[in-house]
Structure 1
Amino acid sequence: MKRAYLLILSLVVVGTCAAQSTLTVAPGDDLQAAVRAARDLPAPVTILLADGLHVLPATLQLGPADSGLRFAATAGAAPVLSGGRPLTDWTVVDGVWETVLPEVAAGTWRPRQLWVDGQRATLARSPNAGFYRTAGVDPALPRRAFFFEDGQLDAWPDLADGLVTVLHSWESARLPLASVDPVARRAELSGDNWWDLGYWSTPNRWYVEGLAASFDQPGEWHLETATGLLRYRPLPGQTPAGSTVIAGRLPQLVRIAGEPRVGIQAADLRFEGLTFAHADDDLPAEGRSDPQAACSVTGAVELWGARGVEFIGCRFTHTGGYGLGLRQGSQDCRVERCEFVDTGAGGLRLGEITLPRSAEEHCSGHTITNNWVHDYGRLYYGGVGIWLAHANDNIISHNEIADGHYTGISIGWNWQRGPTASQRNQVLNNHIHHLVNGMLSDAGGIYTLGDLDGTVLRGNHIHDLFAHVTPDYSWGIYLDAESHGVTVENNLVYAVEDGLMLHNGAYRNTIRNNVFAGAADWLVWRAPGSIPELNEVTNNVFVVTQGSLYYYDSQPETASTWDHNLFWRTDGQELLFMDDSFAAWQALGLEQNSIIADPGLGWPPNLARVREGWPEIGLAGFDPEAAGLVGPAAWTDAPRRIRR
C-alpha cells in the first residue's frame, strides 16, 4: 500500500485548502490512480487535467465511492481524454507510410478507425465514392448472401479483413466478408442483415472496406491483420514528422456505474471543459445490424445507475458509436453546451430497448440542453442525433442537430400499443436541419413511437430533410407506429421531403399552431380510419409549393377534428384535398372554419411573418429563431460557419 501511495504522489500534484481539494494530472499520469487518491481527500475534490493528450490505458471506472468528484481543465487548457494510440514509428515506402503493430498480429488488438491530423481517415474502400448495387440475393441465405457485378469482388487472400456495409431504408449493417465466389459472383457475409436483402429496396447499396485491393487513394489506410502492417496513403502536404496519427483502441473511455437496484448510485460527478475522443468501434466478430437507431451501439462515455452527473462545455468526438450514453438507472443528469461531432453512430442515447423492471431502473429526469450535434453516423448510418428509447420525463431543449444520415431526435420504443416508459418528454426549441441528405429514408426531423402520454414537441425549427429514392420519404415531424398522447405546437417545418406523418396509426394527438410549408412530395399523410381515438389538428398553416397537400388515401380518416386551419398553394395548380375540392372536403364535415388564403409567408419562409401569427385562424405567432443554441456569439455562430 505504501509503495502504491508513493506512486500516486509522483504522478499528481496534491493541494488542499479550506474550500476544496485538488489533484492536477498531466498527460502520461495515471488518471485512475488519481481517482483512487481522491477518495482519501477532504470533499469536494476536483481533478484538474493539464493541457494535452491523456491516453487512457483502460476505461476509466467511476462508481459510488467517487460521488461528488469533479473533473475540469486547468486554466486555459484543452485536455483530451483519448482511447486511441498515437502512431509515430513510420517508414515511408513509395510514398506510403508503414508501421507494424505486433498486437494486431498477435490477435490482441484490431483498430477499426484511424484519425490523421484530427480528421477521420478512410479505411481502404471500394468503390472510392458512392455505392455498388446488389445484383441479386441468394434465396437460400437471403440475409447474408448476395450476387455482385463482375470486377467488384474477387477471392483475394485477405478476405477475412473485408468489411461490407449494406444500406437498408432507415438503417445500415456492418458485416465481415465470409467468402467470395468470383465465378458465381456470389458473396457471403459472416452475420445476418436484420432484414432480407432487397426487402426495403432492390437493389441494396453496399461497399466494401479493409481489402488491400481497395487501398488506392490518398487519405486511405489499410491494416493487414495477419502481419500487423498498417499503411496510410497521405494527403498532399502530410508528412510523418508533421502529422498526428491516432488509431482507435478502447471502445469506451469512461464508465460511471452504480447499483440502482439496491439504492446505491454514483452521484453528483461533474465534467467540465474536457474532450472525449478516439473511442473505437466495438464491432462483434459476426458484425452488426440493428432494427433501428443503431440501437446496439454503445457510447464512448456511459452512465449506468448514476444520478446528478453533469457534462458542461465538453466535446465528444472521433468515436465508433454514440458519444454519450445515459443508460439504465441513470437519472437527473445534465448535458449542457457540449459538442458531439464525428461520431460513429449518433450523439446521445438515453435509456434501453427493454422496459425497466423497477422505478430505480428508469432512465429519467435528464436535461439535454444547448448542445451542438453534427456530422454523426459516420459508421452506423442509422444513428440518431439524440435518441430516447425507454426514457421518461426528460427535457431536450435548444439543441442544434445537423448533418446526420437519419433522424434528428427520436422518442419512444415499442411499436403500436405495447407498453413503454417514454412518457412526458419535452422537446423544446431545437433547430434540426440538413439531415438524411439522400443517404437513408423513412426518417424524421423528430420521430416518435408508441405510448408517449404527456410528451410535448414545441418551438422546433426543422428544415432541409431529403431522403434516398427508395422509399422516397422523410418527414419533418413523424408520429409513427400508433404514437399517441403527443402535443405538437409552435413548430416550423419547411424545405423537407415530406411534412407531417400520422398515417401509421397515430391517435389522440394534438397538433396546433404549427407552420408546414414546402414539401417535395406530400405535406401531410393523414391517420387511417381505424384509429381508436381521434386526433385534433387545428390552427395550423399548410403551404403547398409542389407535390400534394395530402398523401392519397382512398379511405381517409374524417372523424378527427381538423379545423381553423389555413391552406395555400403557390405554384398555380389547384389545391386539392386528396382528389376533392375544398367545398367537397367541407361537405364531409371537415375544415368548417378553415380558409384558403395566401399567408404571406414567402419562400424561404419569412420568419418575421411567423412571429406575427395569423389571428384569422387563431394561430398565435412564435419565434423560430428562438430555436437552437443560446449563449455567446462564439458558441451560437459556430454552426453557421459550416458551408454546405
Structure 2
Amino acid sequence: MKHLVFAIVFLSFNLNAQHKIYISPTGNDANSGTKTEPLATLIGARNAIRLLKENQSFKTLAFTVIIEDGLYVMKEPLELLPKDSGTQKHPIIYKAEEGAHPIFSGGKTISNFTETENGLWQTKIPESVYYNWKFHQLYVNNNRATLAKTPNQGFIKIDTVFQNIWKQGKSKVAERAEQIIYLDSNGAKALQNIKPNELKNVRFKAYHKWDYTLRHIDDFIADSSKIVTSGKGMKPWNPLKKDRRIILENYEAALDAPGEWFLKDNGILLYKPKDGETINNTEFIAPVLGNLITIEGNAIENKYVQYVNFEGLSFKHCHYKIPPTGSEPNQAAAILNAAILVENAKHINISNCEVSNIGQHAVWFGRGCSYSSINKTYIHNIGGGGVYLGDFKPLQNELHTHHISVENNIIKSGGQEFPAAVGVWVGHSSNNIITHNDIGNFFYTGISVGWVWGYKPSLAKRNTISYNHIHHIGWALLSDMAGIYTLGASEGTVVEKNLIHHIHSYSYGGWGMYADEGSTGIVFKNNLVYSTKTGGFQQNYGKHNVVKNNILAFAKKYQLQCTIPEKHKSFTFTNNIVIFNEGMVAKGAWDTVVAEIDKNIYWNTSSTDYNFNEHNFNEWKALGFDKHSLITKPYFKDAEAFNFNFKRKNNYKKIGFKPFNYSEAGIYGDAAWIEKSKLKTEITEAFDKAVETNMKMKIKR
C-alpha cells in the first residue's frame, strides 16, 4: 500500500521537476510527504527518496526535503549510504522551511522532579531503573550542567605517583599498568566523603601538559590519601607526577554546588538548583543518541555518498558515553567520535546549521572525503572540538581527505568535557581552506594542522588558514598550546591574515602561532597576534618556515621563542613588528639556531630594556641577526587599546612592512550573525581573572 501511495502521488510530476518532500513535527512517516500530508522524520524522508529512486521514471528528479519549524526527537541517527546520493545537477537537499528553525534532538526530556528536604531536586528515571540507562552529560535550560565534582573551584594536587607495569608490549607506553597516586591534603578530605559502594562510579580527571586523562578509580584509601587506577601505562614524555592537577567526580557527596547533578545507581537523578531556577521553569534533557548523522560510502569500491546538502537545521543533545577504561591522554582529543560523521563522501555541504549541546566533536570529515564544505554554521557548547578533517594515518589515493572548505563558522565554548579538543583539526589532509571563522573559548588550541611529529611523511600539505579570529584560548588549564598549531612537513601551507589574541597556557606555551616538531615549508604572514603568555611566534624545530610581515604584540613573558636548533635553516623572520611592555624579546635556542632574522622593528612601550636571550641589541646583532632591523616606535594609533592601525608610516616603511587590514578577520554576514560570535562579558572577565591568577603562580613545567 505504501509503495502505491507514493506512486500515485508522484507520477503526476514532470520528470525533471524539483520534487519537494515535507517533514513536520505533527507528521507521520506513513503519509505521502506532501505539504498537507507531511512525514515525521529525516529517516522517513530518506526512505521516501529511496523508494522513488527505485522507480526508473524518477531517476533524474531533484529532491528537496523541506522541514517545518519545531522540535524533532530522533529515535535513531540518520544514516546516508551511496544510494542516498544526489547528482551534480540535482543534489539532494535537506533544508529548513523559509523562516523556520527546526531542531533535531538526540535527547530525552527528564521531568517529574520533586524537592527534597535538603533543597535538592530529584526524579526517578524508569529507563535507568529497568534498563540500566546511564548518561554522562545533562543539559539544563539549554546549558551544560556540571556533573558532581570536587573541588568546585581549583584542583587537588598530586603528591607522588608510582606505576606497576603489568604488560609492557612493544610500545614505549605499557599496554597495561597500574598507577598508585598519592594526593595532597585537599584530596585527603575529598576521599573521606566517598562511600565504598560508590567506588565503581568515581572518576578522576587529570590535567598534565597538553594532555588530559580521565580514569575510573579501582580503589582508594582515605587515611593515606591514596587512589589506585589502572589502564594503559603513562606516557614517558608526559606522565602524571607531583603537582599535576586533578578533580574527582561522579559521587553523591560531591553534589554540593548549584548547577551540579548526579545519577544514582537506583535511577534517581539529583540536581542542585541555581538561584532563580524553579521546577516549573527548568527543562532537563539527557542525551541518548551517540551520533546524529552518519554519512558513509565506500571509496575503495568507488561508491561515494555524493551531492547532499543540509541547510538551516539545528542538531542537539548527542551523548558521549565514557567507556569503562575512561579516556587515555590523547592530543587534540582525537579519539572521540563526532555528532555528524562523514566518511568516503564527496560534495557534502553543511550550511547555516547549528550543532550544540553535545559530548564529543561536532563535525568530522574523515577518511575518503573531498570537495565538501561547512559554512555559516554555529557550533557551540560542545564536549569536544568543532570541525575535524582527515585521518590519523597518511592514507593515500581514494582514502585521502582533501579540498574541504571550513568558512564563516562560529566555533566557541568547546572542550567542555574533553579540554584537549580544538576548534578546527586537520590531520593527514590537504588542500583545505579554513577561513573567516570565529573560534573562541577553548582550553587547548584554536586551529591544529598536521599529525606527524618530526620528519616522517605527512599529507597535510597546501592548507590555507586565513582570516580567522581566534581568541580566549587556554584558560591557564593546559600547556604547550597555541592559537594556531602546526606539526610536520606542510609544504604549501599558508597561515595569513588571522587575528589571534588572549592565548594563555598553564605553564609553558601559550603562543599565538606555534610551529611544533618538524613543521616545514609553512608561510606565516600578515597576522596580528596580541595578549599571549609566551610569545607571538614559537618554533620547536622544523625546516624553511617563513614568518613575514606580522604584528606580534604584548606577550607577557617572551615575544619570540625557539627550541631545538638544527644544522639546516629553521626559519626566516623578516619585516615583522614586535611591540611589548614586559618580558624578554627572545628566549630559547637563539644562540645556536640557523635562521634568517632581519628588517624587523622592536619597540618596548614601557622602558628601554631589550633582552634578546640575555643579549643586548648590539650583542644580538653580533650573532648575525637583525643587521638592518630597528628599535623604533612603529606609531600605531593606540596599541595599548589594541588599535594597531598606523598614524605614521615613515618607520614601518624602513623595514619593508606592508600594512594589512586585520579587521577583515573573522566571520562576515548580517548583524545577528556577528552578534552570535561575541563571548559574554562574564566569560571574558573570567578569562582575564584566570590569566591574572596564573601569572602570580610559580609553576613547575
TM range (shorter): over 0.9
1:363/1:58 CA distance change after superposition, 3 Å: same
Match of 1:133 in 2: 157
Does the 8 Å contact 2:563/2:589 carry over to 1? no
Higher alpha-carbon deviation: 298-307 or 283-292: 283-292
- 1:609 aligns with 646
2:354 equivalent to 1:330? no
Q: Secondary structure at the match of 2:224?
A: coil
Partner of 1:389: 427
Alignment of 1:260-339 (within 5 A): 260-339=299-378
CA deviations on 1:468-501 (whole Å, 9 max, x unpaired) are 1xx3321100000020110110001111112244
How far apart, CA to CA, are the structure 1 residues paired with 2:427 and 2:567? 24
Contact 1:143 1:194 in 2 (8 A): no
Contact 1:392 1:425 in 2 (8 A): yes
2:693 aligned residue: none
Q: Secondary structure at the match of 1:158?
A: helix
* Segment drifting more, 200-209 vs 51-60: 200-209
Displacement of 1:190? 4.7
Give CA deviations for 1:302-333 in whole Å, capped at 9, x if unaligned: 10111111111111101111111110111111
Distance in 2, matches of 1:63 and 1:428, equals 33
Partner of 2:487: 449
Name whichever of 66-75 and 298-307 sits farther off. 66-75
Cα deviation digits, residues 90-131 of structure 1 (max 9, x gap): 344334332323433455532111111111111111112221
1:89 maps to what in 2? 112
**Contact 1:116/1:243 (<8 A) preserved:** yes
User: Which SS does the other structure have where 1:452 is aligned?
Assistant: coil
The alpha-carbon distance between structure 1 residues 524 and 344, as it changes in their structure 2 partners (threshold 3 A), is same
Residue 472 (structure 1) aligned to one of 499, 505, 508:
508
* Structure 1 CA distance for aligned equivalents of residues 628 and 653 of structure 2: 13
Q: Deviations over 1:257-279 (max 9, x none)?
A: 10011111111111111111101
Report the counterpart of residue 104 of structure 1 in structure 2: 128
Displacement after TM superposition at 1:5 (Å): 7.7
Match of 2:65 in 1: 47
What amino acid does structure 2 have at the position aligned with 1:412?
G
Q: Is the 8 A contact 1:506 1:527 kept in 2?
A: no
CA separation of 1:194 and 1:333: change in aligned 2, threshold 3 A: farther
- Kindly indicate whether the alpha-carbon contact (under 8 Å) linking 1:14 and 1:22 is maintained by their aligned counterparts in 2: no
Distance 1:453 1:610 in 2: 36
> Structure 1 residues 5 and 369 mapped into 2: Cα distance closer, same or farther (>3 Å)?
farther
Once residues 610 and 246 of structure 2 are traced to their aligned partners in structure 1, the CA distance between those partners, rounded to angstroms, is 41
Deviation at 1:628, TM superposition (A): 0.3
Give the match's secondary structure for 1:614: helix
Aligned with 1:40: secondary structure?
helix
Match of residue 25 from structure 1: 23
Aligned to 1:340: 379
CA distance in structure 1 between the aligned counterparts of 2:189 and 2:12, rounded to whole angstroms: 65
Q: Is the 8 A contact 1:611 1:623 kept in 2?
A: no
Q: Structure 1 residues 317-326 or 214-223, which shifts more?
A: 214-223
Secondary structure of the structure 1 residue equivalent to 2:402: coil
Contact 1:611 1:622 in 2 (8 A): no
Distance in structure 2 (CA, Å) of the matches to 1:396 and 1:427: 5
User: Is the Cα contact below 8 Å between 2:565 and 2:589 reproduced in 1?
Assistant: no
Corresponding residue SS for 1:493: strand
> Match of 2:297?
258
Deviates more, 1:70-79 or 1:140-149: 140-149
Aligned length: 635
* CA deviation after TM superposition for structure 1 residue 173, in Å: 1.8
TM-score by length of 2: 0.86
CA deviation map 1:340-392 (0-9, x unaligned) = 10100111111111121x31111110000001111110010000011111111
Residue pair 2:603, 2:633 contacting (<8 A) in 1 also: yes
Amino acid at match of 1:332: Y
Name the residue aligned to 1:569: 604
User: Could you tell me how far 1:193 is from its partner in structure 2?
Assistant: 6.9
Secondary structure, counterpart of 1:144 in structure 2: strand
| 1:341 alignment partner, SS class | strand
1:431 aligns with 2:469: yes
Q: Which runs of 5+ in 2 are unaligned?
A: 27-39, 53-57, 87-91, 166-176, 685-701
Report how far residue 529 of structure 1 moved.
3.4
Contact 1:62 1:256 in 2 (8 A): yes
Secondary structure, aligned partner of 1:520: coil
1:156-167 matches, within 5 Å, as 156-167=196-207
Instruction: Note if contact 2:158-2:241 (Cα within 8 Å) is conserved in structure 1.
Output: no
Deviation at 1:593, TM superposition (A): 1.6
Partner of 1:71: 94
Structure 2 CA distance for aligned equivalents of residues 341 and 13 of structure 1:
40
Equivalent residue for 1:207, pick from 247, 252, 268: 247
Asked if structure 2 preserves the Cα contact closer than 8 Å seen for 1:115 and 1:245, the reply is: yes
Q: Is the 8 A contact 2:578 2:603 kept in 1?
A: yes
CA 1:193/1:447 → structure 2, altered by over 3 Å: closer, same or farther? farther
SS in 2 for 1:173: strand
Residues 1:519 and 2:530 aligned together:
no
Q: Which moved more, 1:107-116 or 1:162-171?
A: 107-116
CA shift, 1:553, in A, is 3.3
Superposed displacement of residue 552, structure 1: 3.9
Q: How far apart, CA to CA, are the structure 1 residues paired with 2:288 and 2:4?
A: 29
Alignment of 1:398-409 (within 5 A): 398-409=436-447
SS of 1:269's partner is strand
Q: Where does residue 29 of structure 2 map in the other structure?
A: none
3-state DSSP of counterpart to 1:135:
strand
In structure 2, how many angstroms separate the alpha carbons of the residues matched to 1:549 and 1:540? 13
Counterpart in 2 of 1:422? 460
Equivalent residues of 2:291, 2:340 under 8 A apart: yes
Pair 1:484 & 2:520 matched:
yes
Q: Give the secondary-structure state (helix, strand or coil) at the position aligned to 1:288.
A: coil
AA of the residue aligned to 1:434? H
Report the Cα distance in structure 2 between the residues aligned to 1:15 and 1:110, rounded to whole angstroms. Answer: 49
| AA partner of residue 300 (structure 2) | R
User: Structure 2 CA distance, aligned partners of 1:432 and 1:635?
Assistant: 17
Give secondary structure in 2 for the equivalent of 1:378.
coil
- Deviation string for 1:144-194 (max 9, x for gaps)? 331223221134311212221111111212212222122332112353475
Match of 2:33 in 1: none
Deviates most, 568-577 or 624-633: 568-577
Counting only pairs closer than 5 Å after superposition, residues 586-625 of structure 1 correspond to structure 2 as 586-601=621-636, 602-609=639-646, 614-625=652-663
- 1:61 pairs, out of 55, 64, 79, with 79
Moved more, 522-531 or 317-326: 522-531
- Residue type at the aligned position of 1:370: N
Opposite residue 195 of structure 1, the aligned amino acid is K
Residue 451 of structure 1 aligns to a residue whose secondary structure is coil
Q: Which amino acid aligns with 1:147?
A: Y
TM-score (norm 1): 0.93
Q: Equivalent residue of 2:535, what SS?
A: strand
Contact kept? 2:585, 2:613, Cα under 8 Å: yes
- Does residue 233 (structure 1) correspond to residue 272 (structure 2)? The answer is yes
> Which AA in structure 2 matches 1:489?
K
Residue 420 of structure 1 deviates from its aligned partner by 1.1
Change (3 A) 1:313 1:302: same
**Structure 1 residues 582 and 241, CA gap change in structure 2 (3 angstroms):** closer
Higher deviation after alignment, 187-196 or 370-379: 187-196
- 1:504-542 Cα distance to aligned partner (Å, 9 max, x none): 212211111111111111111135431434422111111
**Other structure's SS at 1:385 match:** strand
CA distance in 2, matches of 1:35, 1:453: 42
User: Whole-Å Cα distance in 2 between the matches of residues 328 and 621 of structure 1?
Assistant: 39
Distance 1:497 1:124 in 2: 32
